[in-house]
Amino acid sequence: MTLHIDSNRLWQSLMQLAEIGATAKGGVCRLALTELDRQGRDLFVGWCRDAGLEVRVDAIGNIFARREGRDPTRRAIAMGSHIDTQPTGGKFDGNFGVLAGLEVLRTLNDHGIETEAPLEVVVWTNEEGSRFVPVMMGSGVFTGAFGLDHVLPQKDVDGFTVAGELDRIGYAGPQAPGEVPGGMFAAYFEAHIEQGPVLEAHQLPIGVVPGALGQRWYDMTVTGMEAHAGPTPMNQRHDALLAASQLVQTVNRIALDHAPHGRATVGFMQVSPNSRNTIPGTVKFSVDFRALDDDALAAMDAALRDACASLAATDERLAIEVEQVVYFPPCRFDPACIASVRQAAEELGLGNMEVVSGAGHDAVYLADVTPTAMIFVPCKDGISHNEIEDASQEHVAAGADVLLNAVLRQAR
């Protein structure tokens, strides 16, 4: 017999949390470490205490709610996400993963089920990064990606610091970051809305997430020669925009050559002098490459550099500069945790498919320190970071059911 969460209770909790910072257009504005964030945290902590959970807070304000297991030697299985939002955010991004975790523990309470391993639900501080940088601050400090002394002095646009705001809202906890009773988590599961259109297009309720795409970002500069658009014959031009436009096509083809996970985008371009009767002399543009493994990213990098070299070789007055400005390594989640998610979905009779994460999540940092997996559910039209972000009660309940059964597989 497979266990199910209480779909109505999960939905009501989501709607109740969404009232804190509710916007006129049906979204939520609850920026990290604001008074509204404090109210959201207080509501969550109250629910945890009602469920008999032991609540701890660490020095970066991450909240941990623990349900003890039968075996005191076992390390905890964790679930979680974030409850801060974008300025024009929605009800589900982050909030779903936190409240699905709480719902899992409430369900175990309802059925009087004791697990072998302890279970914890975590709220990670400032995942969104819209008020304070860096993004994914709480999980980054917890996993050691950056130090407390680096993030505590960070200021928002009004000059308020992370340290001061944590203190003001009462969430500067005593626990050292990275500390978990009994040792680091044995596994971490994060349920999240997909934030993309794939599950909806396939009409499937569950995304099994193999990992998150790595990224390489570039600043490109093509230099040709400015000349008059009229008197200069076509065979005597050194048109920087013509070369750049060929490279835009090439960039797109490079991602298609690395299907299904390759992504390539030129989202920024500056043409100089940008005058209708002058042949463009300089073009600057961006390239954003993403892929699920480092070999693919390296091959995409090599293909871009080759294309630039052969294009530049056709014209001695043409120069092409390629500068890599950002690199995030790809993240592969844990095969056993991924298998638990897939098996839970199968047992529940829920249609599922692999969906890679194109965005960053707290789970990407957690994967550095513990076996990790994610569960995606569809969101309407693939839209998030928008007040119109929406998901169905049926889908969030399905995602929480998968979370429950995947965690039980690990905690028994």
Contacts with Zn ion, residue ranges (CB under 5 A): 93-94
Smallest separation, CB 83 to Zn ion (Å): 10
The length of the chain is 412
Nearer to Zn ion, 300 or 364 (CB): 364
Report residue 214: phi and psi, to 5°.
-80, 165
Q: Using CA atoms, how far apart are residues 97 and 191, in angstroms rounded to an integer?
A: 4
Q: Using CA atoms, how far apart are residues 10 and 19, in angstroms rounded to an integer?
A: 15
Helix, coil or strand: residue 56:
strand
Query: What single-letter DSSP state applies at residue 167?
Result: H
Smallest separation, CB 49 to Zn ion (Å): 25
Smallest separation, CB 144 to Zn ion (Å): 21
Kindly give the interhelix angle for 240-257 and 294-313, rounded to the nearest 10 degrees. 150
Helix, coil or strand: residue 409:
helix
Nearer to Zn ion, 242 or 359 (CB): 359
Smallest separation, CB 166 to Zn ion (Å): 20
Nearer to Zn ion, 93 or 389 (CB): 93
Six-digit token pair at 119?
A: 């279970």
Six-digit token pair at 293?
A: 């493994």
Nearer to Zn ion, 362 or 401 (CB): 362
Smallest separation, CB 192 to Zn ion (Å): 6
Smallest separation, CB 178 to Zn ion (Å): 21
Helix, coil or strand: residue 193:
strand
Six-digit token pair at 359?
A: 């965005």
Nearer to Zn ion, 122 or 186 (CB): 122
Sequence-ordered strand ranges (E) for 231-371: 263-265, 269-272, 278-279, 282-291, 319-328, 331-332, 352-354
DSSP calls for 67-119: E--S-TTSPPEEEEE-----TTB-SSTTHHHHHHHHHHHHHHHHTTPPPSS-E
Nearer to Zn ion, 94 or 101 (CB): 94
* Cis peptide, bond prior to residue 174, ω within 30 of zero: no
Nearer to Zn ion, 297 or 366 (CB): 366
Smallest separation, CB 363 to Zn ion (Å): 10
Smallest separation, CB 94 to Zn ion (Å): 4
Smallest separation, CB 185 to Zn ion (Å): 19
Nearer to Zn ion, 95 or 107 (CB): 95
Smallest separation, CB 127 to Zn ion (Å): 6
Nearer to Zn ion, 98 or 264 (CB): 98
Question: Measured between alpha carbons, how far is residue 391 from residues 91, 94, 205, 352 in Å?
Answer: 9, 13, 11, 17
Fill in the amino acid letter for 14: L
Nearer to Zn ion, 280 or 360 (CB): 360
Nearer to Zn ion, 307 or 377 (CB): 377
Question: Cα 294 from chain centroid?
Answer: 19
Smallest separation, CB 130 to Zn ion (Å): 12
Helix, coil or strand: residue 353:
strand
CB burial string 243-261: b at 16+ within 10 A, e below? bbbebbebbeebbeebeeb
Fill in the amino acid letter for 228: H
Question: Measured between alpha carbons, how far is residue 223 from residues 246, 274, 293, 324 in Å?
Answer: 14, 14, 32, 18
Ranked by CB distance to Zn ion, the top (closest) residue is 94
